[in-house]
Amino acid sequence: MRALEPVRRDKREFTPGAPQWPDPVRVMPPEAIPLPPPETDTSPPLVPEHSPLDDIANMLRAATYGEMIELTAEMWAARGDGEINQDTLPAILHGWATERGKTNGR
């Protein structure tokens, strides 16, 4: 019995129905890869910056029980003879903060 000679074909030769060899992948060093231009977007960030209310909440969480009692006593005194409700509270807070800032030199 005679040995068969292997068939030599060009790898780019097209044979109907046969899988085709892909072109070799070209690998580039990282420094040769083109980078997109730097962003020049000047639109405001999608996440809003924190609010001063966040700072107030953080300070209140850090206050001791005694400091909370002192705060409420000073705010109670700042109300004068009026009552504290949703309409008067902003003015009371502002008046208290303004007076407190004067006495602390701020």
> Token pair of 53, please?
């209310």
Helix 65-78 vs helix 89-103: crossing angle, to nearest 10: 110
Spatial distance between the Cα atoms of 72 and 77, rounded to a whole number of angstroms: 9
What pLDDT is recorded for position 70?
A: 92
Name the residue with higher pLDDT: 34 or 80: 80
Query: What is the distance between the terminal CA atoms of the chain, rounded to a whole angstrom?
Result: 108
- For 35-50, the pLDDT digits (tens) are 777 776 666 666 667 7
pLDDT at 87 over 80: yes
Asked if pLDDT for residue 14 goes beyond 70, the answer is no
- Residue whose C-alpha is closest to residue 56's, from 6, 96, 9: 96
Instruction: Give percent of the chain with pLDDT exceeding 70.
Output: 72
Query: Looking at residue 15, what DSSP letter applies?
Result: -
Give pLDDT, residue 24.
Answer: 72
Ordered by start, the domain boundaries in the chain are 52-103
Span 5-14, mean pLDDT? Answer: 66
State the average pLDDT over residues 3-20.
Answer: 66
Helix (H, G, I), strand (E, B) or coil at 1: coil
Residue 105 CB coordination number (10 Å): 5
